[in-house]
Structure formats: structure tokens, C-alpha cells
Structure 1
Amino acid sequence: MNSAVHSAAVSSSASLLTTAERCLQPATMVGNTPVLWVGEPFAGPGRGFWAKLEGSNPGGMKDRPALHMVERAKARGDLAPGADIIESTSGTLGLGLALAGITHHHPVTLVTDPGLEPIVHRMLAAYGATVETVTTPHPTGGWQEARRNKVAELLAATPGAWCPDQYANPDNVDAYETLALELASQLGRVDVLVCSVGTGGHSAGVARVLRRYCPDMKLVGVDAVGSTIFGQPARARLMRGLGSSIYPDNIDYPAFDEVHWVAPHEAVWSCRTLASTHHASGGWSVGAVALAAGWVARTSAPQTRVAAIFPDGPQRYFDTIYNDDYCAAHGLLDAAPPTGPVTIEDPSSSVVSSWTRCTRVVDPTGRVS
């Protein structure tokens, strides 16, 4: 090889290495997730919906807000270099914050509860996060309020620490602009968007941006039986990742056209059916959203384009949703496959225990009439 060719080869190799070092950073694995067409048995022949597979992110959908909240806090000076990040999580946001901590060089402490799956607990530790577990639920606010109280205690004991406060941080909402723009590019038009609701971040953020392009788009929220978000009384909840025992400030109540509540046995059927028919599934939120999106697709006009957000993948649920012993012990395998929701006129008219929908969406705190 002559010197000119050798020099060019070395230069090219160095350029590739430099490009790889720039691109192959952990945070660059987030975003640009695929969409999948989901048809029968969730919808009839020729009908279906597009599922945005956020489980293709390293830790799931909440990688997006975790990175965005940290980056915005650093830009404002709220989060000092090397300062501690302390937050409450049921799992997915914790994985995102662990990624953000690695990316931006911050120690991360996550407050969770006994419902956190062992695989997630162990992975959070492997990613370098400190995991604190509360042992007693708050008498009215449940595990979420107990976790938040512990976060407040840790913040007071850790000078300079910062909490993202996912329930009230507008950056949590803004973080989903990228997801919305990806959907707009992938689908061109969205007539109905179906989202699970927990902190309220992705339903508010995605809908707000998509309505710039599709102003008549309808938003369907999917909640868990036993959740207080849409006006039901708080009860013990088996499902994690959607629903709440508190009222997050980020929920944009006026944005919703209707809400569906889904029970654990219905979500389990949906998750397992997705796995066996589409080789793509996830956790409680995914199962609940797929039920509602399939129903919307089969009861809407044929040309209606329905999109659904699947927040995560199935791996962390291997010992719950996909474990026959666990499901049998909780009575989740005995019911007939769900066929459609019962409709109620007002969210306070009855206490729901299975798949139910309501087209009257109210803010139960009275903040928005």
C-alpha cells in the first residue's frame, strides 16, 4: 500500500471512530421507535390500529422524559454538576433516570415500593442507582404518597439534590414532542390517539403536538380499575405503570374525549394475546391500551386511523403477567376474553370493576371544570 492510500485509510478509520464515539452514546439509543399494525383479534377483519413500540427504547417510554427533565434542569442551573438526583418511581422512570445519570454524570437515588419487580430492582442497582424501598403505604395516598414523602425526606438530608417531580414538572410533558413528531412522520395522520394515564405526561405531550397537525384528533385515556385519576375512588391496584392514588398536576383533563378503565385480568388476556398473535407485547399499560385501541378501531368508521402508545416491553413482567402461577393466584386466568366495555354516563355514577368507558371526563379535584 502506498503512503497516500495508507494515509487515506488511516484518516477514514479515524473519522469512523470519531463518528462512532459521537453517535454510540447511551442516550442516542432513545427515540425513533417503530410502529406495528395490530389487527385481529383486537379488531375485525381489515381493521386495526398502529402501536408505537416504546419498549424499543433501552428502558421504555420514560427514557424520553428522564433525559429531557435532567437536560432542562441542567440548562436552567437547577441541577448542579455532579449533584444527586432523587425521585419516586414504580420502575420505568427509574430506568430512564439511571440512563440520564450515566449520561450526565449524576448519582441517582430512586424511591420505590415492594411492588417493584426484582429484575428492575437488580438492573437499577447494576446501572449504578441507589434504590430505597418504602415499606408502608400512606393511609390515603397509597404507595405513591409514601414514596413522595420519602423523597422529601431524602432531599432535605442531601444538600444540592434535585428532584424531577414527574407528576408536576412541565418538562415531563414537553419531553414527548419527539414521540409525537415521530408518529406524525410515520402515520401522516392520526384520528384517534389512545394512551395510558399515570403521571399524565405522555398523553398531554403527545396529544398537544399531534393536534397541531390533526386538530380534530380524539384522545382516549386508559386508566386502571381502582385509580383515582378520573373520578373513581382509590382502591388497591395490582397493575403498575398506569393509574394513580394521587392527582398529578400534569394531567390535561380537557384534552380527553373519553376514558376507559381496565381490570388486571383483562390486561393479562390482552398482553398474552398480543404476544401470541403479533410477537409484540408489554406490561399492564400495553395490555389495557391494546384493548381500548382495538375497540375504537372496530367501532369507528373504516378510514379512521387509530394510534396507540405501548410504553414498554414484556421482559420485566415475566414473573407476573406471563407467569401462570402468579396469574392463577390472583384469579387472572379464569375470566372469559373481554369483548367490549360497559358504558357509564358519569365517572362518579358507579364504582367500576371491569372494562368500562365514559365520555364525560372531569377533573375530580375541581381545578378544571
Structure 2
Amino acid sequence: MRLPLVVGNTPLVRIDRPFTADDRGFWAKLEGFNPGGIKDRPALHMVRRARERGDLADGARIVESTSGTLGLGLALAGIAYGHPVTLVSDPGMEPLMQRMLRAYGAELHTVDQPCREGGWQEARRRAVRHILAGDPGAYCPDQYHNPDNVAAYAPMAHEVLEQTGGLDVLVCSVGTGGHSAGLSAVLRDHHPHLRVVGVDAVGSTIFGQPARPRLMRGLGSSILPRNVAYATFDEVHWVAPAEAVWACRRLAATTYASGGWSVGAVGLVASWVARTSAPGTRIVAVFPDGPQRYFDTVYNDEFCRNNGLLDVDPRSDPDLIEHPSHREVTRWTRCTTVADPAGPTAVRRR
């Protein structure tokens, strides 16, 4: 076994002008400095814990659904612990990512039709179950519901505390719910009044909006992951693809710190939080990956033009709705009532 020592201890960079004034910036945690991105952390942790429990035998196959970043992490874990890896994705996965995963030794399956309920994610999960049925010794980490996904981010939370000395606001994207839940649980032990701002995608059902086809990868969901800790959020923002592209490209051109869809969405929201907070507010935003894998999408003019993503400048402030059920959002929108769509209660944080 060759346990990677290159995961973690990622840097922070200060982001202010041209997004905010000098005294109202935020710190970006650059998880793109991990070999594959932020999900190297849960991939290694989930595989290690499964091995310790005996759920994953030596040499057994790992099978999982992924839009890309967790796939890179599982490929790394497979190499580190000696497991073959089979990944199930869909046609939205970038060609560059497909080639990278195969280069790292993963076997890639692509589903060809979304499910009526649950979309591409449910179609991928059904394909995973079919593969597992044919290989009784195989193991699925089940990133959407596995509490080890959440626990994997405790070391990252301690990194943030050591690097900042403390913080007032955490801004992070929400997909499986892993890093928002894992980080906030540890950080609130040290800072009980920490404000947590979740960033979702337009068309995602996580926070009670109707599920729609989504162009963006890496945040949002067509299913309801059990790892989402709804009570931890003070508010949620939904961001549209064109707004994320604008922020990605502006971050790249002005700070050199950029990434993909999640980074653009988080950067847009974190900039607004910084502008509207008191000077000196300590804000940390999680940038889950770097820009390299988005050569064919976010940073490709032809792709962006064909999808109507160019020449769209976001407004300076998001729309505001009182409850996620009040209307379907199509652009950057915020809501301070955070509701669990699977339950009757809503947590009013601010």
C-alpha cells in the first residue's frame, strides 16, 4: 500500500479587487492543489474505513457513480490501496475527464438515458447496482449517503482553523453534502456563531426546487443525499451556468485562482457576502478544484456560445425568495429559509 502524502494542506488565497473592496474580501481554500481536487479527501477516507471494517476486501473492486471529481479521487485510492475501480457516469462528463480517468486505470461505464425521477444521477446509481449484482465482492462507497464522506473533511476544517486563526462565514457548494456538513460540524465546535452559506445550482432539487436538466457538474443534485445537513445552513444561493462561467473567467483573469462550475458559483456568492458584510468579517470560501478539466466547457468559447453562456454579466445582488417553494428560480437567487424537502420542518436561521 502506498498512501499518498500529497492530499491536504492546500493553500488559502485572498480574493478582493475587482470583486470587492480591499477591506471586504474573502479567503479561498484552493482544493485544486490536491491531485484530483477536493474529493481526493473523502475517496481515500471512505476506502480506508471500508477496508478497516472489512466491507472492502484486499483486491476487491470499487464501483461508484461520479460526475468526475470523486472519480479522480477513487482512481487515486485504487492505486494507493490496490483495488480496481469501475466508475459510472453519463454523457455530460467532459471528454478530458473521461480520458484522464481511463489513464489513471479506471474502467468507465456511461449510461445513455436519464431516469424520469432522479435524472442522470438515478440512472447512474441503477447502473452501479447492476454492476454490484454481478460482482458480489465489489464495494460501492455511496458518496451521497455515506457518513464517512462527511467525516473525511475534519482534517480540512482543522487546516482552515490553523490557516485563519478563526472565521465568521463559510461559503461552500452543495452536491453530496459531504464537505459542507463535515467542515461546518468541526468549525462550529470552535466558532458556534459561524454563518454557513450554501451554494446550489439552478435546477437542483437539494433545497426544495424542482429538479431540471443541469449543465453544471459538481454541485447540485437530482436526488436528495442524506449527507446534506440542512440545519447547518443559514442561507442558500442558487446560481445559473452563465453566472458561474462569468465568475470563473473573471477570477482566472484577475486573480489566477479559478476552477470549474462550483468555483465560479462559490466565488460569485462569496464576493457578495464580502461586499455586504462588515469590514473585517472573516470569510472562507471553498474552491473545490482547478480549471484544467474544464477546457472543453467553462473555458471553451464555442461550448459557452452554443449554450448561451457568454456576454452575461450577473447582477450585483441576487434575487430574494422567502421560501424555496414560492417559485422556481432561473438566475442567482438567495433564500434564508432552509428547508429539508424530505421533511415537514424548516429551519429559519436568519
TM-score range, shorter chain: over 0.9
Mapping of residues 172-211 of structure 1, within 5 Å: 172-211=149-188
Asked whether the equivalents of residues 220 and 260 of structure 1 are also in contact (C-alpha less than 8 Å), the reply is yes
> 2:275 is matched with which residue?
298
Deviates more, 1:195-204 or 1:44-53: 44-53
Mapping of residues 259-278 of structure 1, within 5 Å: 259-278=236-255
Higher helix share: 1
How much has 1:255 moved relative to structure 2? 0.4
Q: 2:293 aligns with which of 292, 300, 316?
A: 316
Separation in 2, partners of 1:209, 1:87: 27
Code of the aligned partner of 2:151: D
> 1:52 is matched with which residue?
29
User: What SS is found at the alignment partner of 1:331?
Assistant: coil
User: What SS is found at the alignment partner of 2:236?
Assistant: strand
Separation in 2, partners of 1:326, 1:359: 34
Residue 329 in 1 paired to residue 306 in 2? yes
User: What SS is found at the alignment partner of 1:74?
Assistant: helix
Residue 351 in 1 paired to residue 314 in 2? no
Separation in 2, partners of 1:363, 1:179: 26
Asked whether the equivalents of residues 40 and 47 of structure 1 are also in contact (C-alpha less than 8 Å), the reply is no
User: What SS is found at the alignment partner of 2:4?
Assistant: helix
> 2:100 is matched with which residue?
123
Q: 2:71 aligns with which of 76, 84, 94?
A: 94
How much has 1:367 moved relative to structure 2? 6.9
Give aligned pairs, total.
Answer: 346
Code of the aligned partner of 2:249: R
Distance 1:242 1:201, change over 3 A: same
How much has 1:190 moved relative to structure 2? 1.0
User: What SS is found at the alignment partner of 2:238?
Assistant: strand
User: What SS is found at the alignment partner of 2:338?
Assistant: coil
Q: Which has the larger radius of gyration?
A: 1
Asked whether the equivalents of residues 192 and 307 of structure 1 are also in contact (C-alpha less than 8 Å), the reply is yes
Q: Runs of 4 or more off by more than 6 Å in structure 1?
A: none
> 1:62 is matched with which residue?
39
Separation in 2, partners of 1:84, 1:40: 47
Code of the aligned partner of 2:90: D
User: What SS is found at the alignment partner of 2:339?
Assistant: coil
User: What SS is found at the alignment partner of 1:29?
Assistant: coil
How much has 1:275 moved relative to structure 2? 0.3
Code of the aligned partner of 2:335: C
How much has 1:231 moved relative to structure 2? 0.6
Separation in 1, partners of 2:192, 2:294: 36
Distance 1:321 1:26, change over 3 A: farther
Asked whether the equivalents of residues 266 and 338 of structure 1 are also in contact (C-alpha less than 8 Å), the reply is no
User: What SS is found at the alignment partner of 2:99?
Assistant: helix
Percent identity of equivalent pairs: 66
Asked whether the equivalents of residues 24 and 281 of structure 2 are also in contact (C-alpha less than 8 Å), the reply is no
> 2:192 is matched with which residue?
215
Code of the aligned partner of 1:287: G
TM-score of the pair, normalised by structure 1: 0.92
TM-score of the pair, normalised by structure 2: 0.97
Q: Deviations over 1:151-204 (max 9, x none)?
A: 000000012100000000000000001110000000011100000000000000
Code of the aligned partner of 1:116: M
Q: 2:20 aligns with which of 31, 38, 43?
A: 43
Extract unaligned runs of 5+ from structure 2.
none
Separation in 2, partners of 1:367, 1:319: 41
Q: Deviations over 1:39-90 (max 9, x none)?
A: 0222224211000000000000000000000000000111011101000000
Code of the aligned partner of 1:153: H
Separation in 1, partners of 2:315, 2:20: 12
Code of the aligned partner of 2:126: N
Distance 1:120 1:151, change over 3 A: same
Code of the aligned partner of 1:222: V
User: What SS is found at the alignment partner of 1:98?
Assistant: helix
> 1:143 is matched with which residue?
120
Let me know the Cα RMSD of the aligned residues: 1.1
> 2:257 is matched with which residue?
280
Separation in 2, partners of 1:206, 1:278: 25
Asked whether the equivalents of residues 86 and 155 of structure 1 are also in contact (C-alpha less than 8 Å), the reply is yes
How much has 1:26 moved relative to structure 2? 6.0
